[in-house]
Structure 1
């Protein structure tokens, strides 16, 4: 049985009143929710983040009705659902057995370490409790918790939940994922988000009547997530791999864009067949030398690096070789563009210093779902026809845009000075291939009738724009956000990004 998404907060029953943990808790929760939406919508709008706060009273017994506080109080979970967290944390401590005695020079250091250990157990118990709640209610959500922060007599845990389907659809690194070992870019973004929220709470707690501030740029948070992910896959402990790749991708060699492969592995790795070994390894911080060496890479042969130095050229053995081991690679694709891959899967694409998730061709089922959402009267055959046109548009290597609108005819008239109007005709894939070869959008009705090509779309400025994306994407966002007609824009960017942008009322 397919689980339905969680009900909106306004639709949930109101819980009995409980005193707040601190004065600005509601404001902070709303700020954190908006912060999460800004971050994760840049990755995948289908992740649908939901943020809430959980407070465990430090000096109250678990059967005390005020021992647990939830913000917002109208959340679908009740305080009783989390009443046993501290007991469960104590069980984890008992099951772990005796710990090694660690002696600290100062008593405060010992107390701090013991508190940190207890907080980690509480975090683990909260995650376990949420996992059981989600599974029992078939909510199809993934839950992530921050390490508790002591605030006004409460252990405050910030929880963010993401849609399980979209989250699990992305490739994850093998091995156990932890708070310091992200499994994927979405997971790294979760860790960076929780870290930023905890920092804001901690800084506000040390000031006088200060409200927690979450003002970090969304793209900067994603860059921090990218650095976390790169640190996880680094063969050594080098922290500068992400920034080194940025510096290398920004350089040109004799006017050409940087393209090539870098294999990330420890020196003399058994799965790497050496082709050419440098007598003196080149530091990765020497961007110009590395950029020049990239010209030597071709096909399977790439530069071999331990994330600190480049040792030479080599290639990985075949998968059926007993020495084979999936290794991380950096594929430099164009100027300012590169990808992080592992075992043949793309973990992250970086365009103009901004990490993004890999974007594949438009999927038929996803297109059909969005198209039916925007144009509910379309038949299956009509949606299939539009899908064929969208698929043809996605094959344009230079980027293009297909705009499907119920108001295509009046819009072609309104925008007549910034488009080429055509005699109405049903669009076909061969004609679309030619019509989309010039700048601007191809404007068609849901039945496939074309009214204009080369359309320069207009629209009002909106917060949904993304400064890291190009003019084509942002003009489509402005147009679909302010269009009075139901419409759907299929945007194909030059860097390979493909977006489905429904009109504002259907987003």
Structure 2
């Protein structure tokens, strides 16, 4: 049965806009949708990138073995076609974020996307999915009368709104009322300050944003006279003021419109919103919990920490005991974190079985035990030198400033630097060796056997637009 073409195009446009927006916010992302147009309709599945594959038993149990999702639905016939929806009970699928709802023009929707392991918070992504529910319901209500792909474009650039909507919801929950601070101007000002340099240096320090009624609870060190309070939108002025709170427990304090002064610490302000500027990037926190990060003038969901799960798995599979593998992983993580924090590139050669012959470089005699914090701190500094560190499974630093060589391999990538391609060549000749390459622009590559283990899959855009998505029963059968 061919369904209403305009509606199906709307569904796929919303899906693609959501995917592109979440990819910008969280890295390569997939999106899927399960929907029923009316209370009596069959469930249809939009899953162009096979996100839901592997979850068939749970989906069958929720949607086919039970009618609870249909029976507990509100009376959508009494709802207004525009601007009214009721949220549906969320599904709990491993590694997924989901959100859905009921509306008059589109009875049921449940949206799914991936839960990335290095997300600060799932809140903004959940708000993103909720907005997709609204937009698709509105598109179905208009039945293509205003077919402009506006919903797709709105979801592609929704990160500011997703962060703001999450902050608004959480602050309203804590305060028992909507917050009075202007969230959109704050989000814009934070990005403007983050990209403003002072004498060539990016900003460090923290700014806290408080409700006007909380001003008397602040432990003030300096409170500016009312007529002399700098405007928050003056990024250059705020950047200069941040010099007064660098590398300290002091904070700039703002009501979202002006900078009110400087406080000693943020104790007692449980609902505070904090912009934590950390040189090249920063974090937005609510009540001390990270909401998102920001870098290069955009908000992202990442914690800015590398996802080293692949490295941990590779070390556990190496010919070394689990305790040694875990210790080597912790030491490597500490060096990588330092490199990313200070913004320098480095290479670590991990030799779990101590099988490598002496490498061309500066040898350490006797090798340093990196379990000693002083030795580990020295290794972090030695990583700044040109060349690689040679670490064994016993946690020993055997050499630094090592040169990696080898024959050319098919997996080389000319868009990467010498560190990356040298690591590919070297590990192709020594397949038991793992090389960690930290790029100066922050990516971390895990390489073994001439292959990058943590390479992201290339999510190609699907070809033809599927205007006749399968029913859930057929989809479960693999059709």
Alignment of 1:345-356 (within 5 A): 345-356=289-300
User: 1:455: how far off?
Assistant: 5.6
Mapped partners of 1:282, 1:251: distance in 2: 16
CA 1:348–1:333: 2 relative to 1, 3 Å = same
Correspondence 1:135-214 to 2 at 5 A: 139-140=93-94, 143-147=97-101, 155=107, 157-163=109-115, 166=117, 184=121, 186-192=122-128, 195=131, 206=144
Aligned to 2:74, what secondary structure does the other structure show? helix
Give per-residue Cα distances to partners, 1:208-266, cap 9 Å, x unaligned.
99999968998x66555445556666742341212211222322335554333322112
**RMSD across aligned positions (CA):** 5.4
Whether the 8 Å contact between 1:32 and 1:214 is mirrored in structure 2 is yes
Which stretch has the larger CA shift, 383-392 or 198-207? 198-207
The reply to whether residue 114 of structure 1 matches residue 64 of structure 2 is no
**Is 1:289 aligned with 2:237?**
yes
By how many angstroms is 1:361 displaced?
9.2
Q: String of CA shifts for 1:81-136, please: whole Å, max 9, x gaps.
A: 57443431228x9xxxxxxxxxxxxxxxxx9962357x622xx23xx2x44xx4xx
2:402 aligns to what?
Answer: 453
Go from structure 1 to structure 2 and tell me whether the alpha carbon gap of 1:441 and 1:84 turns closer, same or farther (over 3 Å shift): same
Higher relative contact order (CA 8 A, sep 6+): 2
Question: SS in structure 1 opposite 2:35?
Answer: strand
Q: Does 1:325 align with 2:279?
A: no
Deviation of the 1:33 alpha carbon: 9.3
Distance 1:387 1:421, change over 3 A: same
Q: Partner residue of 2:42?
A: 67
Name the residue aligned to 1:379: 321
SS in 2 for 1:253: coil
1:54 Cα deviation from its structure 2 partner? 1.6
CA distance in 2, matches of 1:480, 1:32: 36
Deviation at 1:306, TM superposition (A): 1.4
Q: Is the 8 A contact 1:442 1:455 kept in 2?
A: no
Distance in 2 (CA, whole Å) between partners of 1:81 and 1:303 is 56
Residue correspondence of structure 1 range 103-502 to structure 2 within 5 A: 114-116=80-82, 120-121=85-86, 124-125=87-88, 128=89, 130-131=90-91, 134=92, 139-140=93-94, 143-147=97-101, 155=107, 157-163=109-115, 166=117, 184=121, 186-192=122-128, 195=131, 206=144, 222=159, 225-229=162-166, 235-269=180-214, 270-274=216-220, 275-280=222-227, 281-297=229-245, 299-316=248-265, 318-319=267-268, 324-334=269-279, 337-356=281-300, 357-359=302-304, 369-372=312-315, 375-387=317-329, 389-391=331-333, 393-394=335-336, 395=338, 398=342, 399-404=344-349, 421=361, 428-429=369-370, 430=375, 432-433=379-380, 435-442=382-389, 453=402, 460-461=412-413, 476=420, 484=428, 485=431, 488-490=434-436, 499=444, 501=446
Offset at residue 307 of structure 1 (A) = 1.2
Unaligned runs of 5+ in 2: 172-178, 455-479
Give 1:60-99 correspondences, 5 Å limit: 61=40, 67-72=42-47, 76=56, 77-78=59-60, 79-81=63-65, 83-90=67-74
Unaligned runs of 5+ in 1: 1-17, 94-110, 171-183, 414-418, 466-470
Write the deviation string for residues 172-229 of structure 1: whole angstroms up to 9, x where unpaired: xxxxxxxxxxxx3x321343366469758977963899999968998x6655544555
TM-score (norm 2): 0.63
Counterpart contact for 1:436–1:454, Cα < 8 Å: no
CA distance in 1, matches of 2:123, 2:285: 16
Q: Which residue of 1 aligns with 2:35?
A: 55
Q: How does 1:6-21 map to 2 (within 5 A)?
A: none
Alignment: residue pair count: 409
